[in-house]
Amino acid sequence: MRKPAGRARLSFIKPLDPVQVETPPVSDDWLHEIKYDGYRTQLILDWAGARAFSRNGHDWSKRYWPIVQAAEELPAESFIIDGEVIAPDPDGRPNFHEMHSRMTWNAELLAFVAFDLLYLNGDHIRPLPLVERKARLWNLIKPAKGIIQYSDHVEGNGAVFFEAVEKMGLEGIVSKRRTSDYRSGKQDFWVKTKCWEVGDFELLGLRREPGRPAAAIMARNGRYAGMAAVTLPKGVRERLWQRVQETRASKPAQRVPSAFADDVEWIKPGITGRVKFLRGEHTLRHATLQDFEEGT
């Protein structure tokens, strides 16, 4: 294997982060991929072997050892691949809740979904157009059906693709300009569109601060789930305020982060809130309280 001058090893490259948008781009100069629910990971191979890094540059090679072994079998002297480690179900869908268990006990059941190639056999190819980088990536990892997989894409028809992904119950899509280069940090030539869900959560309390929207503190399955902005119509909101006053508690019914202080009005169990929230997040994000009801 060719060794770089001075035997220097390849260095981790800070990932490109997509900007979140409400709807996917409509023009034909965008590629659209599934947004995988896992851990962003960078695979690096050089003269001393392969390594796997988290999105923050931490070496997670031991956690992902089967993926690292598979990377060393790819037909290249050196590369840097950007992708996502997932815990696939039998049908291929990512199951984020299985990630920690598999990382600890069954790492061979993880998979790495590759979606970009930043460096190959001595050449930094980040300035090349995305479509060319993806073509080289496919040639490197094909047939890409095992532990190292390939992130397929469609060209154009972003709204149709997003609708299909939403119906499949997946997290969302990432859209990328087909001619874009690769630059670290948040860039608007990659954008992500996430699907929404509506679900029922237990209302633990309310935080009302002067000059800020009221926030409902929610739990699900006996665990703190996050906060949701209270966007109820005036009459429903006033009815909620009244019920909070009538069911006050001295402490939360579930364990919550220690950051919550005396500005929270805790309530007794029994009120369920209907919440709209972004799918695929592990705590509530961009969530709104749509309605509430009391248990019988």
Given 194, 220, 251, which residue is the final one in a domain? 194
Residue 130 falls within a domain, yes or no?
Answer: yes
Mean pLDDT of the 82-101 span: 92
Residue 127 and residue 33 in one domain = yes
Residue 115 has pLDDT above 90, yes or no: yes
Kindly state whether residues 17 and 163 are assigned to the same domain.
yes
Category of 270 on φ-ψ map: left (φ > 0), alpha (ψ -120 to 50) or beta: left
Residue 123 sits in the same domain as residue 218: no
Q: Is residue 128 part of a domain?
A: yes
Q: How confident is the model at residue 3 (pLDDT cuts 50, 70, 90)?
A: very low
pLDDT of residue 50: 98
Where is average pLDDT lowest: 102-106, 131-135, 203-207, 284-288?
284-288
> What CATH number is attached to the domain comprising 104?
3.30.470.30
| Cβ 127 vs Cβ 181: under 8 Å | yes
Whole-Å CA distances, 157 to 134, 191, 215: 19, 15, 37
pLDDT of the residue at 295 = 64
Single residue among 151, 178, 194 that ends a domain in this structure: 194
Start-to-end C-alpha separation, the chain: 70
Helix (H, G, I), strand (E, B) or coil at 86: strand
Q: Is the pLDDT of residue 261 over 70?
A: no
Amino acid at 175: S
One domain, residues 25 and 170: yes
Q: Please report which helix (H) or strand (E) contains residue 200, including its range.
A: strand 196-207
For residue 41, is it within any domain? yes
Residues 181 and 214 in one domain: no
> Which CATH number characterizes residue 258's domain?
2.40.50.140
Determine if the peptide bond prior to 143 is cis (ω within 30°): yes
How big is the chain by its Cα radius of gyration, in Å?
23
Does 153 share its domain with 214? no
Residues forming beta bridges with residue 207, ordered by sequence position: 215, 264
- 69 with 208, same domain? no
226 and 85 assigned to the same domain: no
Number of domains in the chain: 2
Asked if residue 172 belongs to a domain, the reply is yes
Q: Is residue 3 part of a domain?
A: no
**Residue 290 phi, psi (nearest 5):** -95, -30
Q: Which of 194, 226, 255 is the last residue of a domain?
A: 194
Answer yes or no: do 146 and 217 share one domain.
no
Residues 159 and 289 in one domain: no
Structural domain containing residue 267: 196-294
Say whether both 38 and 166 belong to one domain. Answer: yes
In angstroms, the CA 296 to CA 277 distance is: 26
Q: Does 4 reside within a domain?
A: no
Q: What is the biggest distance separating any 2 CA atoms in the chain, rounded to whole angstroms?
A: 74
Tell whether 124 is covered by a domain: yes
Q: Which residues 6+ apart lie within 8 Å of 286 measured at CB? A: 277, 278
Contact 13, 117 (CB under 8 A): no
Q: pLDDT tens, 144-183?
A: 888 999 999 999 999 999 999 999 989 899 999 999 999 9
